[in-house]
Amino acid sequence: MDDTNIFDDDLYRQIIIDHYQNPHHQGALECPTHHLEGFNASCGDSLELDLKIEDGKVTAVGFEGSGCAISMTSTSMLTDLILGKSVEEAKRITKAFKARLLGKDEDGCEDVDIGELEALDGVKAYPVRIKCALLSWNTLSEGLEHPEGLIMQ
Amino acid sequence: MSLSDMSSEMSLGDLRADFPVFADGDPERPLAYLDSAASSQMPRQVIEAMVNFQSHSYANIHRGLYRLSGASTAAYDSARQTVASFIGASDRNEVIFTSGATASLNFLAYSWGEKNIQAGDEIALPLSEHHANLVPWQQLALRKGAKLRWIELTPEGTIDWASLQEALSHRPKLLTFAWVSNVFGTVHPVAKIAKLAHEAGATVVLDGSQGVPHLECDVQRLGVDFLAFSGHKMLGPTGIGVLWGRMSCLEELPPFLYGGDMISIVKRERSSWAEIPNRFEAGTPNITGAVGLSAACAYLSRIGFADIRSHDLMLMEYAIRRLEEAGATVLGPKDLQQRSGVLSFRYKKLHPHDIATILGRDEVCVRAGHHCCQPLMREIGMTGTTRASFYVYNTRADIDRLAESLAKVGDIFHIAPCPCTKIGHKPAPLASDAAPCTQEESCGECSCKLLNQSH
C-alpha cells in the first residue's frame, strides 16, 4: 500500500481533519434572528444553522448537525468566515466559494478572500462530494436573502 | 468453467478470468469489487450470449413471419424456460419479464393492489425493506386509505417474531418482505414466514433481489405467492428482471400496462387480453436482456448454489474477522448461517461517505449511505453504513485490500486502535449483552458505554 499521501492527502488535508474533530461555533444560539435547516438526502447529512444579524452584520453564529468530514469542516469554516462580516460580504464569500468549487467564473469574486476554504479545493476532484461542501453555504444563502430575520421551525 | 474443473478446495475466485473487468487497470492494484449487492459484474459468457443474439438472431418477437423473428421468439421463449427452471417454477408461463425488481413490485402494487386493497385494509412489511418494496405499498395505502403495519427487527437485524405475529393477528391482506436484507445481509426464513402469513389469510410477496443471486431458489419450497428479482444483481444485464407468480394468483390479476402484444381482440370500445404471460408484457420487451439473464442463470447453475453458498460464507467469515481486527463494528446476525453476501459495518464514528471515498481511491469499491432504507436507518439511529458485498468472483485478497485500505482511513483521521480490541473485546454496538469494557477509554463504538469517551 502506498502511504506517501497520508500526511499530505489531496482531499483530507490536516486542516480539514482538525475542523472535523474540533468544529468551531458548534451549538445552537440562544436568541438567533435566523434558524436555518439544511439536509442532503443522499448522505443523510443534516444541519441547523443559527445566525444573529444585527444592523446588517453577522454578530453571532452557531450550528448543530451531523455529517461527513467535508460537510462538517465546510460548516465550521463558514462560521469562522462570516462572523463579524456584513450580510453583503457574507454573500460575496458564498458566491466566490460556490463558483470556485463548481469551476465557474463569477464576476466580482476575484478579490474575495475565502481564507481556509482553499483547503477544500480537493473536493473538486470528487464530484459527488461537492454537495457535502456546499450544504452549509446553500443553507446560509437562504438566510442572507432575508436579512431582517428568518426563523424556520 | 465446468463443474469438473472445480474441486471442493478450489476457490470460486478462480473464475475471475471469466470477468473482463478484472483484467483492466493496474495489476499492482487490482479492482476489489465489493459492491455486487448494488450491481454485479458480468462474465464474458453472458456478454457473448447477448452479442451473439443481437448480432445474428435479433428481430422483434411474435408475429414476424420470417426466419429471424422466429429465431428471436424462440430465444425469448427459451430464456423464459431457463429462468423458470432456475427458480423451480412448474410452468414457464408463470415467469413475467419486467425491467427489474422495482418494476415487478410496482406492477404488483398497481395490478394486485388496486384490485385487492380497500380502505382500512392492512399491508404488513418489515422496517428494513428497500425503498423499492416500501414506497409502492406506501403509495397504494395512501391511495386506498389502507394501513401499513410495520414488523420490527431484533438488534441483530433478524425479524422480531413477536412483532411478526402481532402484525399477522391484524389479518393483513398482504405480507411483503425481502428474502435477504440489503443492509444487514440477514437471510429471513421465507417458508416459515409464508406459512404463518397464509394461515392468517395474507397474500405473500417476496423481494428476491438479494436472495435469488446467492441462494438456491425453489418457489415451491419457499411457499410464497409472488417473487420479484433483478437480472443485474445475478451476473445479468440491467433492464431485465422477473415477476414470478403462482398461476392461480396470476389468473386473478388485471393487466397493468396496456398496449401491443398484451391483447387478444381490440374493438373500438373494449378489448380482451392475451394469455398469461403476454397479458402482463405490453410492448416490445427487453429481448436481448432476457437472453442475457438466461445466460446468467445457466452460468450460476453450472457453478451450483452449494458452492456459491459455501464461497459466500467463507468470504463472510473472513471479512467479519478482518474488519473486527481493524476496529470496525459489523452489523447483522452473529450466526453465519443467517447471513448472505452483504456486510454492513461502522468504522469508529466516521461518516460512511468519508470511508467509501478513501477506499474508492484504492480501487476498493464499497457502497456507503442509507442503502435505500431510510426508515430502518432512522430506527437504528444511523445516517448510514458502509457496505461490502460479495459474489462468486471475490477472493480473500479483496477482503485483505478492504482491511488495509480501512487502516489507511484510520491513519488519515488519526484513529488509534481501540483498547477494547487490544484486550480481545469484540465491539458489539447493537447487542446489549456484551461484557462491559473495563478499560478507561473505549472506542466509543462498542457496547461498553460505561466509560465511553471517544479518543
- The string of DSSP codes covering A50-108 is EEEEETTEEEEEEEEEE--HHHHHHHHHHHHHHTT-BHHHHHHHHHHHHHHHHT---TT
| Residue-level pLDDT at B451 | 35
CATH, domain range B3-40+304-422: 3.90.1150.10
Boundaries of domain holding A101? 6-151
Question: Is A77 a residue whose pLDDT tops 90?
Answer: yes
In a domain? residue A1: no
The minimum CA-CA distance between A54 and chain B, rounded to whole Å, is: 35
Rg (CA), chain A: 15
Predicted local confidence at residue B280, as pLDDT: 97
Which of A9, A42, A68 minimises the CB distance to B412? Answer: A9
Minimal Cα–Cα distance from A56 to chain B, Å? 36
B308 contacts B301 by C-beta, under 8 angstroms: no
Q: Check which CATH number belongs to the domain holding A59 and give it.
A: 3.90.1010.10
Which of the 8 DSSP states describes residue B136? H
Nearest CA in chain B to A44: B383
Q: Which of B346, B349, B354 to mutate to test the interface with A (most CBs of A within 10 A)?
A: B354
Task: From chain B, pick out residues whose CB is under 8 angstroms from the CB of A46.
Answer: 383
What per-residue confidence (pLDDT) applies to B417?
56
CB neighbour list of residue B433: distance below 8 Å, 6 or more residues apart: none
Residue B441 has what pLDDT?
A: 47
pLDDT range class, residue A44, cuts 50, 70, 90: confident
Give the pLDDT confidence score for residue A142 in this predicted structure: 86
Residue A5 in this model has a pLDDT that exceeds 90: no
The pLDDT, as a whole number, for residue A82 is 95
Helix then strand then coil, in percent of chain A rounded to 5, is 45, 20, 35
Predicted TM-score of the model (pTM): 0.88
Chains A–B, number of C-beta pairs less than 8 Å apart: 50
Is there a domain that residue A68 lies in?
yes
The number of folded domains in chain A is 1
What is the distance between the alpha carbons of residues B454 and A98, in angstroms, rounded to a whole number? 34
DSSP state, residue A114: -
- What residue ranges do the domains of chain B occupy? 3-40+304-422, 49-300
**Confidence grade of residue A1 (pLDDT, cut at 50, 70, 90):** very low
Low-confidence ranges of chain B (pLDDT < 70): 1-11, 13, 416-455
The complex scores an ipTM of 0.86
Say yes or no for a CB contact (<8 Å) between A43 and B369: yes
Residues in B touching A67 (Cβ below 8 Å)? 351, 383
Name every residue in A having a CB less than 8 A away from some CB of B: 1, 3, 6, 9, 11-12, 17, 20-21, 42-46, 66-70, 126, 129, 132
Pairing of strands A34-40, A150-151: parallel
Measure the CA–CA gap between B187 and B338, rounded to whole angstroms: 5
- CATH fold of B49-300 reads Aspartate Aminotransferase; domain 2 (3.40.640)
Candidates B217, B249, B365, B372; catalytic one: B372
- Give every CB contact of residue B10 below 8 A, 6+ residues apart in sequence: none
Per-residue pLDDT of A10-28, as tens digits, reads 899 999 999 999 999 999 9
